[in-house]
A and B are shown apart, each in its own frame.
Chain A
Amino acid sequence: MTTQILRAASEGHAVPPATAARRALRLVRPFLALLARDVRVLRRDLGGFVLRSVTQPLLFVFVFAYVMPKTQGGGGATPAPGGVSFATILVPGMVASAVMLQGIMSVSTPLVMELSYTREIEDRVLAPVPLWTVGVSKIVAGAVQACVAGLVVLPCVLYVHAPGQAPHVSLGRWPAALGVLVLAALLMAALGLLFGTVVEPRKLSTLFTVMMVPITMLGCVYYPWAALDKVGWMQWVVLANPLVYVSEALRAAFVPGVPHLPAWAYLGVLTVGTALVCALSVRTLQRRLTD
Chain B
Amino acid sequence: MAAIAIETRNLHKTYRGGGREVHAVRGISLSVREGEAFGLLGPNGAGKSTTFGMLTTRVQPTSGSMRVAGADPVADPVSVKRRIGAVTQHNTLDRQLTALENLEFRGRFAGLSVRTARQRGQELLERFGLGDRGDAMVHRLSGGQAQRVMIARALLTRPAVLFLDEPTSGLDPQTRVNLWEMLREMHAEGQTILLTTHYLEEAEALCERITVVDHGRTLASGSLEELTSLKGGDSVVSVVHEPGTSLMNVLEPVRRIPGVSRTEADGATLRVFTDRLHGVVPAVLRASLDAGLFVLDVSVRRPSLETVFLALTGREYRE
A107-130 contacts to B, CB under 8 A, are 118-130
Q: CB-CB < 8 A to B91: which residues of A?
A: 118
CB <8 Å contact, B111 and A119:
no
Whether, in the assembled complex, B217 has its beta carbon less than 8 Å from a beta carbon of chain A, the answer is no
In this complex, the interface size class of chain B, counting residues with CB under 8 Å from chain A, is 20 to 34
- Return chain B residues, CB-CB under 8 Å to A290: 58-60
User: Chain A interface secondary structure, helix, strand, loop or mixed?
Assistant: helix
A203 within 8 A of B: no
Contacts of A33 in B (CB 8 A): 105, 108-109
**Interface mask (A6-33 → B, CB under 8 Å = 1, otherwise 0):** 0000000000000000000010011001
How distant is B275 from chain A, measured CB to nearest CB, in Å?
45
Residue of B nearest to A291 (CB): B59
Contact at A123–B110, with CB atoms within 8 Å? no
A275 within 8 A of partner (CB): no
- Cβ contact of B101, chosen from A29, A40, A120, A291, cutoff 8 A: A40
Please determine whether B60 and A29 come into contact, CB atoms closer than 8 angstroms. Answer: no
| Contact B59–A120 (Cβ < 8 Å) | no
Q: Is A230 an interface residue (CB 8 A)?
A: no
- In the complex, are the beta carbons of A291 and B60 less than 8 A apart? yes
Counting residue pairs across A and B whose Cβ atoms lie within 8 Å, the total is 77
B161 to chain A, nearest CB (A): 13
Please, which residues of chain B bring their CB within 8 A of the CB of A41? 96-97
Q: How far is the CA of A131 from the CA of B88 in the complex (A)?
A: 18
In the complex, whether A171 has a CB less than 8 A from a CB of chain B is no
Residue B178 lies at the interface, judged by CB distance under 8 Å to chain A? no
* Known A37-B94, A118-B95: A127·B88 in contact at CB below 8 Å: no
In the bound complex, do residue B108 and residue A30 qualify as a contact, i.e. CB atoms below 8 Å apart?
yes
The one of B58, B60, B105 in contact with A37, judged by C-beta atoms closer than 8 angstroms, is B105
- Say whether B94 contacts A122, CB under 8 Å: no
A208 to chain B, nearest CB (A): 21
CA distance A29 to B91 in the complex (A): 26
**Contact partner, A120, options B15, B94, B157, Cβ 8 Å:** B94
How many angstroms from the CA of A37 to the CA of B117 in the assembled complex? 13
**In this assembly, does A87 line the interface, its C-beta being within 8 Å of a C-beta of chain B?**
no
Complex: chain A residue closest to B60, CB-CB: A290
On chain B, the residues within 8 Å of A291 by CB distance are: 15, 53, 58-60
CB distance from B117 to the nearest CB of A (A): 9
Most A C-beta atoms less than 10 A away, residue of B57, B102, B157: B57
Q: Does A136 contact B (CB under 8 A)?
A: no
Chain A's closest residue to B81 (CB) is A128
**B95 partner, pick from A30, A120, A128, A129, beta carbons under 8 A:** A120
B97, A29: Cβ atoms under 8 Å?
no
The interface residues of chain B lying within 8 Å CB-to-CB of A130 are 77-78
**Chain B residue contacts of A127, Cβ below 8 A:** 81, 106, 109-110
CA distance A33 to B106 in the complex (A): 9
Report Cα–Cα, A30/B79, bound state, in Å: 14
A198 within 8 A of B: no
- Residues 73-116 of B, flagged 1 when their CB comes within 8 A of A and 0 if not, give 00001110110001010111111110001100110111100000
Known: A33-B105, A126-B56, A291-B58. Contact between A44 and B94, CB under 8 A? Answer: no
Partner-A contacts on B (CB < 8 A) = 15, 53, 56-60, 77-79, 81-82, 86, 88, 90-97, 101-102, 105-106, 108-111, 153, 157
Closest 5 CB pairs of A and B: A33-B108, A127-B109, A128-B82, A128-B81, A291-B59
A-B contact pairs, 29 of them (CB 8 A): A29-B111, A30-B108, A30-B110, A30-B111, A34-B109, A36-B105, A37-B105, A40-B97, A41-B96, A41-B97, A118-B91, A119-B92, A120-B93, A121-B92, A122-B88, A123-B102, A123-B153, A126-B58, A126-B86, A127-B106, A127-B109, A128-B81, A128-B82, A128-B110, A128-B111, A129-B109, A130-B77, A289-B58, A291-B15
